[in-house]
Amino acid sequence: MRLYDDVLKGLSALLPPAPAFCAAFDPKNAAKDGEKDQILFGSDTAFELGGGGKASVCGVLFADEPQTDEVLLYGPDLCEIRTDSPFAHFTVARLTGETEDAASYEDLQTVGFTVFQVYPEGYHIRVSPSTGRERVRVAKAALRQTPPLSFLNVGTSLIKAFKAHPGVAAVRTVYITDPDVDYMTLADLAARARDITAAVKHTLETGDLDCAACKMKPICDTVEGLRDLHFRKEQKK
């Protein structure tokens, strides 16, 4: 689906020309699973991504790319970080045979919620869907192990979880720790992605397609494809 194209273009424009690494998905690189209710105390924490008042951004997008599963990192890896750091995390999923016509909000919601269902050992994730923030406590022990925990391990675990959904064709997950990136604009892009997903939900679930009275009109007016999704639904009725 192409509804998120402008968000993807904006994301690409904000990132450095080349990532610190780009690795193809290999299940053997997955992190060891931790407990769902694991608690990481401050005394056991090396640093917090998005902690200490630092920027914290996350978003899930759906597109007709990527073609292959991959983990990307822009900025220092976990073993290179020494203190609380700004952090952003975007995941882009391509659904099997997905088009705007066939889109199911339940599919988007189920797949998107995967980010809440991954618990790497020593990597304590706290996500706030309403504010688009993702903060992570990283355990000292995870960085002392051989080899130390890395974003490759964490990203591989996330892709593995996404791929457990039969409708997911490919996943790209992007971690950003570069302090020079514009995190405020990244947060705006993440909010835009949430608005688009909400508009898709409204279009697919509501029986009222009166655009003049619709609260989603400001989004549909600026996202190419959303109006067409409305009209195609009306034609099928």
Predicted pLDDT at 174: 98
Which residues lie closer than 8 Å to 91 by C-beta, 6 or more apart?
59, 60, 61, 115, 158, 162, 171, 172, 173, 174
User: CA-CA distance, 121 to 117, in Å (whole number)?
Assistant: 13
User: Helices (DSSP H) in 113-169: which residue ranges?
Assistant: 140-144, 151-163
Predicted pLDDT at 200: 78
Q: What is the pLDDT of residues 22-42, one digit of tens each?
A: 999 999 999 999 988 788 899
Q: Report CA dihedral (74, 178, 29, 163) to the nearest 10 degrees.
A: -60
Q: Consecutive 10-residue runs of the chain (237 residues): their mean pLDDT?
A: 88 96 97 88 95 94 91 98 97 74 59 86 88 92 97 97 90 97 96 86 66 67 63 55
Contact 44/128 with Cβ under 8 angstroms? no
Map out the domains of the chain with their CATH numbers.
5-207 (3.30.1650.10)
Predicted pLDDT at 99: 46
Predicted pLDDT at 221: 64
End-to-end Cα separation, the chain, in angstroms:
22
Predicted pLDDT at 230: 58
User: CA-CA distance, 4 to 112, in Å (whole number)?
Assistant: 14
Dihedral sign of CA atoms 75, 77, 80, 83 in order = positive
Predicted pLDDT at 198: 80
Predicted pLDDT at 102: 47
Q: What is the pLDDT of residues 32-90, one digit of tens each?
A: 999 887 888 999 999 999 999 999 999 999 888 899 999 999 999 999 999 999 999 99
User: CA-CA distance, 92 to 162, in Å (whole number)?
Assistant: 10
Predicted pLDDT at 39: 85
